[in-house]
Chains A and B, each alone.
Chain A
Amino acid sequence: MKGSLARRIVLGMTPWIGVIVLWYAVRWSGLVNLSLIPAPHQVAAKFVDLLLHEGLLIDIYASTRRVFFGVALGILAAVPVGFLLGWYRSARTFADPMINFFRALPPIALIPLVIVYFGVDEIAKLVILFYASFFSGVIVMYEGVSQITPLYIRVAKTLGANEFEIFRKVIIPLTVPHILTALRVALGVAWATLVASELIAAQRGLGAMIQNASTYFLLDIIYVGIICIGCIALIMDLILRWISAKLLVWQDRATS
């Protein structure tokens, strides 16, 4: 058990160390102007500096809060809608082309319109993130729900379950895995969209920080911003995966 944990840590760390080595290697190779690539230790020093003196935490908090509420609201709406579409064939025929139309639009392309209608406040960002999470989540939900096998419902009926019991004891447990997948997909899309929306108009947030730094060619700050976004997205995904593992112990997973 201990050995396997150590092995997993080593396996997990190796690519990161590789990236840092590669990073230094590119600097030392002399192929690129040194002022264009800050060294990893310089970026680390900048990170500490920003954290202590420039309120990096406020930016992180602003971005994370936007993603959290955007995704939460988007998925809250996507679950019932995706469920209805997956469950009722006629609802799908009715709404499917529409959903695919809106899903195909990159949320970033809508930012100018959102600014026109909702201004540049928090509301505008929330609208964009809601849009991005809703459409990515709704697809995952309805694909998943439409694949629920009717066998389990038949079994429940032969055991005497009424409609409400079928919903609560069969359909909900079968829907949970799809809700979690929808959440993960929506989180990924929401981070991508968030940074784009902050690049255009925001006082604080990681996207805004990157945008301001680029104006003054402060590459180390840009690197700090990018790494922070990656790390927060990774942590959120890990938390979700941990929750999934707890909730879905029953699932058959290919592991070795």
Chain B
Amino acid sequence: MIAPGMTSERARFDHVSLSFDTPKGNLRVVDDVSYAINDGDFIAVIGPSGCGKTTMMSMLAGFQTPTTGRVLFDGHPVTGPGPERGVIFQEYGVFPWLTVRENIAFGLNLKANHVPSSERDQICQHYLALMGLSDFANSYPKHLSGGMRQRLAIARAYAVKPQFLLMDEPFGALDAQTRANMQNLLLQVLATEGKTVMLITHSVEEAIYLASRIVVVTARPARIKEIIDVPFSYPRDESIQERAEFGELRGHIRELVMNEYRAQQAQMRPVSFSE
């Protein structure tokens, strides 16, 4: 056992459970989940949709508090959202009343981030270029495609330089081509800026391609089914998807996820319909 402080642990779920009171009784969404995320990790959380993976992320982001157990960030219980934990939402949440440039600058102009005004322009410029949005700097989001909005949401989150990124199915709504591009862009940015990431996804390929560790989660209530180390080193490119290990890993994880998916379907199916 390594003494705390020696490790580079950033976040920890410590016997975390969460349940809601609903009209039909108590609904348990997350059940006794424990794992740690270390500095530089890329954790992908995968499981059937509606299983409670987003709730897990939401607790680390600071939007929900566990019913029992603790969620720690840098050793302290999470009490609310903060700029050191950047969140990229499934629905993007790009501000429609601000131009692309103003969206990126939003975080930089906030008191909490202490960005000197002389640097703001330069940071904006950097992320506009990095995300390929320079030509649209003065456009409003209504003129952007889905992929561009997603890039803008990422640029805005990156601009305040969070060391920890929480991404909730960020590429779920994109077409296959755009999705592959965004994944590569993400790997590229991570290679230069070194961040810790927690990614929620339901794509097995995406999880293996991007993550260093994969947390497979059960059907609701979310428990940890298995934690798998991904054997590929960074930087990665698409060629790893051709490797035998990739295929084996994909087969294994897909089976785990499909089992949970079936369990989830069984939970939801009305009794009279069961075979």
Contacts and interface: CB of A to CB of B under 8 A. Distances in A.
Interface of A: 151-152, 154-162, 165, 169-170, 173-174, 249-252
Nearest to A161: B110
B160 A154 contact: no
Given A159-B160, A165-B110, A152 B89 contact: no
Which 7 pairs show the lowest CB-CB distances between chains A and B?
A: A160-B83, A160-B112, A159-B107, A155-B93, A158-B87, A157-B81, A173-B97
Contacts of A155: 87, 89, 93, 95
A157 B166 CA distance: 14
Contact of B157 (A151, A159, A165): A159
B251 interface: no
A173 B83 CA distance: 22
A99 B98 CA distance: 34
A249 B96 CA distance: 10
Contact of A250 (B61, B81, B96, B156): B96
A161 B93 CA distance: 15
Contacts of A156: 106
Interface in B17-67: 61-63
A151 to B, nearest CB: 5
Binding site of B, secondary structure by majority: helix, strand, loop or mixed? Answer: loop
B262 interface: no
Contacts of B95: 152, 155, 170, 173
Of listed A155, A158, A159, A170, residue having the most chain B CB within 10 A: A158
B142 interface: yes
Contacts of B89: 151, 154-155
Contact of A161 (B61, B86, B112, B157): B112
B97 A158 contact: no
Given A158-B81, A159-B110, A159-B156, A252 B142 contact: yes
A174 B93 CA distance: 13
24 contacts: A156-B106, A158-B82, A158-B83, A158-B85, A158-B86, A159-B83, A159-B86, A159-B106, A159-B110, A159-B113, A160-B83, A160-B111, A160-B112, A160-B160, A161-B112, A162-B111, A162-B112, A165-B111, A169-B106, A174-B97, A250-B97, A250-B140, A251-B96, A252-B142
User: Which interface class (under 10, 10 to 19, 20 to 34, 35 or more) fits B?
Assistant: 20 to 34
Given A152-B95, A159-B83, A250-B98, 17 more contacts: A151-B89, A154-B63, A157-B80, A158-B61, A158-B87, A158-B157, A159-B110, A159-B113, A159-B160, A160-B160, A162-B110, A162-B112, A173-B98, A249-B140, A250-B96, A252-B96, A252-B142
B113 A160 contact: yes
A19 B239 CA distance: 72
A41 to B, nearest CB: 48
A174 B87 CA distance: 21
B4 to A, nearest CB: 27
Of listed B87, B97, B142, B156, residue having the most chain A CB within 10 A: B97
B193 interface: no
Interface of B: 61-63, 80-83, 85-87, 89, 91, 93, 95-98, 106-107, 110-113, 140-142, 156-157, 160
Contacts of A165: 110-111
A251 B98 CA distance: 10
A46 to B, nearest CB: 48
Given A154-B63, A157-B81, A169-B106, A250 B113 contact: no
Contact of A160 (B82, B97, B98): B82
A117 to B, nearest CB: 43
B81 A154 contact: yes
A156 B113 CA distance: 12
Contacts of B63: 154
A251 B96 CA distance: 7
A181 to B, nearest CB: 15
A117 B10 CA distance: 69
Nearest to A159: B107
A160 B91 CA distance: 19
Nearest to B93: A155
Contacts of B91: 151
A39 to B, nearest CB: 49
B54 to A, nearest CB: 12
A58 B63 CA distance: 60
